[in-house]
Amino acid sequence: MISRCADFDLAIENPTTLAILRSLIGELITFEEFEIMIRNPTIKTQDIKAWHRDATRDYSRRMEIEYVSLVYYLTDVSATDHCLSIIPGSHYGLVDLKPTEVTPGSEYDVIGPAGTAVIFHGPCIHAGKLKPGSRQRRTLHIHYARSDQPRVY
């Protein structure tokens, strides 16, 4: 759909976020993947993925490919809504931390109004935190990498 339709070009090539992404990845930046995610209200409190790194589920390969994730909130996300939750430093200083060893309370919940753009290194441990009583949350997830490396996905 993306190759036949220009409707998502601004999200992928947003000048503001692209400048930040280039500063992290360099001029060899390439678009990797685009996802639309809708999280409906639920009584569940755990996402099936739980804590994870995106590119690989194999812990020993966690630093193999450089990539950056960009998440746009399309709906308001308050403290009582489903949110992106990140373990700060798990892409660098805590790189040896396994997703199964995350200590409850060490995460940072990203809340913000519709239009919020969250940029984080792909090897950063994160999860979709589900909250009972949440409104529907809509997000765009865009992944970028270096064009001189193997594909992320």
Token pair, residue 40, equals 């409906």
Give percent of the chain above pLDDT 70. 92
Whole-number pLDDT of residue 7: 86
Confidence of residue 59 (pLDDT cuts 50, 70, 90): low
Residues 64, 149 contacting (CB under 8 angstroms) = no
Domain ranges of the chain: 9-146
Q: Is the pLDDT of residue 63 over 80?
A: no
Residue 46 has, within 13 A of its CA and on its CB side, a CA count of 6
Q: Which residue has the higher pLDDT, 47 or 132?
A: 132
pLDDT band at residue 82 using 50, 70 and 90 as cut-offs: very high
Mean pLDDT of all residues in 55-78: 81
Q: What is the pLDDT of residue 66?
A: 78
Q: Which of 32-36, 47-51, 74-78, 131-135 has the lowest mean pLDDT?
A: 47-51
Ranges of beta strands (E only) in 2-151 are 29-39, 67-73, 83-86, 108-110, 117-121, 126-129, 137-146
* 75 has pLDDT over 90: yes
Q: Which structure tokens are listed for 146?
A: 């270096």
Q: Does residue 133 register a pLDDT over 70?
A: yes
Pick from 113, 132, 109, 112: nearest CA to 41: 132
The pLDDT value recorded for residue 123 is: 85
Classified by CATH at the fold level, domain 9-146 comes out as Jelly Rolls (2.60.120)
- As a whole number, mean pLDDT of residues 67-85 equals 96
Judged against a pLDDT cut of 80, whether residue 151 lies above it is answered with no
The whole-model pTM stands at: 0.88
